[in-house]
Structure 1
Amino acid sequence: MPHLSEKEVKNARRIMRLLDARLRKHIDADYLQDLLKQIASTMELLIANQSELPERSRLDSLYDVTKAIGTSLDLDTVLEQVMDACIRLTGAEHGFLMLLSDDGEPELKVARQFDQTSLSPDEVQYSRTIVNYAIDHAESVLTSNAVEDPRFSGQSSIVDLSLRSIMSIPLLVRGGVIGAVYVENQGSAGLFSNDDLTFLETLAGQAAVAIDNAKLFSVTGAELTHRIDQLRELRRIDQKLSGLVDFDEAGMALLEIACRLANATCACLGQIASKGEPIRSVLTYYVDGATLDVAEFEDLGATYPPLKHIWDTGKVELFSDGEGEQLLGLPLIVNEKTFAIIVLKGCAEHQITEDQRDMLVRLASRAAITLENARLYAGIKEADRAKSEFVGIVAHDLKSPMSSIRGYAELLNMRRHELDAESIERYSQHIIGTIDHMTAIVSDLSDISRIESGLFYFEPTTVVIDELVESARNTVMPEIKAREHEWIVEVGENLPNVQADFYRLLQVLNNLISNAYKYTPNGGKITLSVQKQGDKLEFAVSDTGIGMDTSQLANIGKRFWRASDKYTRSQPGTGLGLTITQLIIRQMGDQLRVESEPGKGSRFSFCLPITVRTSSLSES
C-alpha cells in the first residue's frame, strides 16, 4: 500500500478549496470530474493507510501523546498539546477545544489544523449544535455524514458549512463536564470509525485530567500569589502600627489603611465610654475631600442602627444607609470583647468585595491589640500626669496654709502684748480655718487610702432630713455668700427619716455643693433638692455654672481628673471629691447621675433607699 505523504494531504485540501470556489461561480463538468478523481484517489490512500495502521502503533501513539500532555502545567500549552494530539490520532482536518465558562457556556479556547498551526478567526467554522449536544448530554458524538444525520441535518450550520465527518467528545473530570473536543473533516463522509471514537474518548479522558490540573494550578498559583501579597501587606501594616503608641495617631493610621484596602471614601472609629453609653465617634478620616455625616462624639448607633448589633455580636457586617450606600461595620476585639468599631463608607464605583472584607478582618485582628495598647498607654500617661498634677496641687494646698499659719503665729508671738482681744480672735480664726482646710485635704487622702485598701465602713444612724439639710447649709453658706450665689432649698413635706451614715451622706452633699459653687461664676444659683420618689429619696444638687461637654462627662469620677479649661484650673481642688462621692453613693446602693450642658449648668443626683443596706466597700 503506497504511503500517503503530507504533501499529498495538503494537495487534497487545496483541491477541495478550488472545488468550493468553482461551485460558487459556475460548474465545469470536465474540470469537476478531474478534481473529484484526484480527491477520491487521495481519500482512498488515507482510508487505506488508516485501515492498515497496526493497532499496536496507535496504542503506542496514544501512550506517547498522553505522556506529552502531562508534562506541562501551563494551561495554554496543555490545550494546544491536547488538540494537536486529537487531530494526529484521528487524522482529522480541523480540531477545536471548548471549556465551560463560569456561567456554563462553552468558550472556544483552541482552534487547530492538521499541520499543528492555529486557524485564523475567519477560518473558525464548526457546529455549535454538536458541541452543545456532547456537553449537555455528557455523551460522545460520532457522525459519518452530518448533512444526512437525522440528529443534525436540519441545523443551518451543518447545511451551510457542508459538514461531513465529525466527532465531539465531552471532557469529564470529577463527575462533571468541563468542556469538549471537536474534530472534523468537512469534505468527505465516512472518515471516522467507532475505533477512532474509542481512541479519542480515551485521549479525552486523559486530556480532561491534564486540563483540570493546569486550571487548578493556574488558580492555585494566582491565589497563592495573592495571599503572599496580602501577607506582605499585613507585615508592612504591622510594622507601621507597631511603632505607634499615641491612640489618636494609631487610630488615624488604622482608618487610613482600612480606607485604602476597601477603596472606601471615609471612615470613623467609634467607642463606648462606659456601660450604658452609646457608641460615639472619636476619630474620622476622609479621602480626597469626601465627607461622612458623623460629627465628633456623635452617637453612631443613632446614625447607623446596625452598629449596635455588630458591637454586641463582634461580627463583621455589610449594611446600607438611608440613601442605599454600602457601609461596613468592623468590630475591634480584644479578649473576646468589642472595645471599638470601625465604620467604612464605600462609593458607587467601588463596592466592598468579599476579598476586601476578608483582608479588613485580618487587619482588624492585628490592629486591635495595637490600638488597645495605645489606649492603655494613653490611660497610663493620663494617670501619671494626673498624679503628678495631684502631687503639685497637694503640695501647694498644704504648703500655702502652712505658710499662712506660720505667718499668723509669728504675728501673734511678736505682737502679743500690743494686740487687743478682737485682733487675737481674728488671727486665731484664720489659723483655725486654715487648719480645717488642711484637715479636709488630709481627710480626702485618707478616704482614698481606705477605699483602695477596702477598709471603708459605714456607721448607720437615723438621719433626719431637715437636720441633714441644715448641716449642709451651715457648712457651705460662707462660700456661697462670698461668691454672691443664690441659695435655694427644695425639700418635700413630711419626708421620712432614713437609716444611713449621717457624716458620709453629709460628705456627699458637701462635695456636690462645693463643686456647684466653685464652677458657677459669681452671682449664680445653687439648688439643693430632696424629694420622695416611691420608696426612695432623691437628693439633687443643681447649678447655673459653666457646665460640661460630652468628653468631660466621660471623665467624671476618674481619680485626680480635673477639666483643663482656665476657669476650672482657677478653682481649688484635688480631683478626688467626685471619686469619693461616687464610691460612697455606690456603697449606699445607687449610682451618681449627671446632666450637664456647656454654659447652662449641671445637675448631680442620686437616690437613697429609705431602708439602707450597710456593708464594707470591699464587699461591694
Structure 2
Amino acid sequence: MSKVEAKTVDDTAKFGKSKNGGLTAQEQLRTLAQNMNTLATEMRNQQNDLRKRGMNLPSGSAERVRYASTRLDPLGNLLTSQQIELRQLRALAETTALINSSLSTDDVLNQVMDTVIQLTGAERGYIMLKNKFTGEMEFRIARGIDREQLGREDFVVSSTIVQEVATTAQPVLTDNARSDPRYEQQESIVGHQLRSILCVPLTVQGDVIGVVYCDNRVLAGLFKEHELNLLIAFANQAAVAIQNARLFESARASLIEATEIRDLMNNIFTSIASGLIAIDGYNLITAYNPTAEMLTGISYEQAWGANVFEVLTMLGNEFSERLRRVREWDTTEEWEAEILQKGHGTRYWNISIAPLSRPDAPESNNESVVILLDDLTELKAREAQLAQVRRYLPVALVDNIRSEELNLGGQEREVSLIFADVRGFTSFSERLQPEVLMEIINKYLSVASDSINLFEGVVEKYIGDAVTGMFNTQLNPQTDHALRAVRAALSMIYDVVALHETLPEDQRLYYGVAVHTGMAVLGNVGSPERQEFSALGDAVEMLKLLQENSGRGEVIISAATYAQVNAYFECEALTPRVTKGHEDFTVMYKVLGRKRRS
C-alpha cells in the first residue's frame, strides 16, 4: 500500500464512521464475519446434540454460513478501495477548484505539484513548461529535486522521458524502470536505482504546454493504472488552470506595457511645445494638447469632440481653404497668420496642417489631419528688438547678443561716452555743392563710426557733422569701457590723417573728440513709430562741455575717464575754457599718446 493510500485508508476510516460516532462500515463487516464464524461453530456443536436426539439441521447450513463469512473480507476490501478512490476524487475536485481560482502561474504550479505528490505518493517530481517563443521545455517547479540536479547525468532518463511525452503527448508509466526494456539499458537506471516513474503531458486543446514528471527510487510498483488515470484526469484540469494563469499574466504584462506606452505618449503629447490638434474626416477634434488649450483659450473638455471650425474661428476662411487642399492633394500647408485674440491683443501664429495616416480608420473616414500651432509673438518681438540693435552695433557684435537678455526699456549704468565733431565744417560747407558736400562729410563720419565699431562701441547717433558713441551699454557690456573709448578716439584722429592723403588740401578737416565716463540712463527713446537707443543724464551734459573744449585734432577726456586710463596713456592736465556754470568742472586732460611700456 502506498503512502497516500495508507493516509487515505485512515481518512476513509474517519469518513466511514456514522454521525453518531458508531462503527465504520469496515468494522461492522469484520464484526459480522466474526459473528458468522461463531454462528457456524455453534451450529456444528448444535448439530451433534441434535443427532443424539434424532434430529438434524438443514444439510450444509453451517458450511454455507462459514462460506458467507469468508466472502465478507473481499467485500470489505472492495469497500475500502472504493472509499479510497472516492476520497481521492473528492480531494482532486477540491484541488482542481482551488487551482482554477488562482491567476498566478507560480501559485498554480505550486498547488499542482503538491497535489501530484499527494495523489501518487511519489518521492519527488517536477513540472516543465514549453516556452511559447522557443518551443523548448523549461524547468518551473519541483519537489525533492533542485534545478542543478536536473543538469546532472542521473537525470538522463527523466529528460528522455520528458521529451518523449512532450513530443508524443502520450503518458509514460513504468512500475519498475530497472526491468522495463525501454530504459533498462540506461546507465542512470542501474546507477541510481530509479524504479517507479510516472510522466504525463499537460495538454490544452490538443497542444502540449508542459509535462508533469514524478518518480520513486525505492519502491517498485508504486504507480499503477489507477494512479496514471487519476493523474491524467488531474493533469487535464491543471493544464487549463496553468494556461489560464499564463494567459492572464501575459495579458496583464501586455496591459502594463500598453499603459506604459500610453503614458509615454501622453507625456510626449503633453510636452510638445507646439499646440497640437488632431481631427477626423468629419472635422471633429480627436486630440488636443495643453499647449493648444493655452493658445486658443479653449479647454480640453470644451474642445474634444467639437468641430474644429468652432474652436479655430480666429483663423477665418483661409484655414478652411488650406484644410481642403491638404485633404484633396495629400500635401502639407504652412503659413503665418496675424490673430486678434480677445484678452491677448494681436498674436502671430505659425500654422501647419498635414495629413494623418490611420490604417485602422474606415476608408470613408481616412481623412484625419493634424494641426500644429506655434505662437511667434515673442519671437517676432525679439526679432524686432534685434533689428533695432542692428542699427546701433556691427553685425558680428549683434550675433553674440542673446535678445532675451536685452532690456532696452531703460537701465542706469556706468558708461564711457564719445563725442566727435568735425571742426570748421560750417564755413567749409558754404563753398561746396550739396552733392559734393554730402560725399565728403560721409567720408569723415565713416571714419568716426568705424573707429567706434572697431573697439565694439555703439554708434548712438549722427548729428550733422558730429558722431556720438557709447561703451558698456546693455548691448555691449565691457569692463574696460573707458580704455576702449579713448582708443577709439585716438583711432579717429589717426584715421583722419590717413584720409587726408586721399583728399585735396582744401577738403582736409579735423575732428575734435571728447570722452567722459559716468552714470547714465540707457534705453530706447522716441515714439512707437521711430525710436533711438540713447543715453540720458548729467554724463551727456558733461560730454558736450568736454567736446566744446576740444580743439582740432585733440582728444579731451574728463577726470573720471582719466582715473581709469592714466596707466595706459600720456595725458596733459588743462583748465577748461568753457564751463557753463559747472563750478566742479575745473580740470580736463588732453591725451598725448600711449605710454611706452618699460
**TM-score scaled by length of structure 2:** 0.34
Structure 1 or 2, whichever has the larger Rg, is 2
**TM-score scaled by length of structure 1:** 0.33
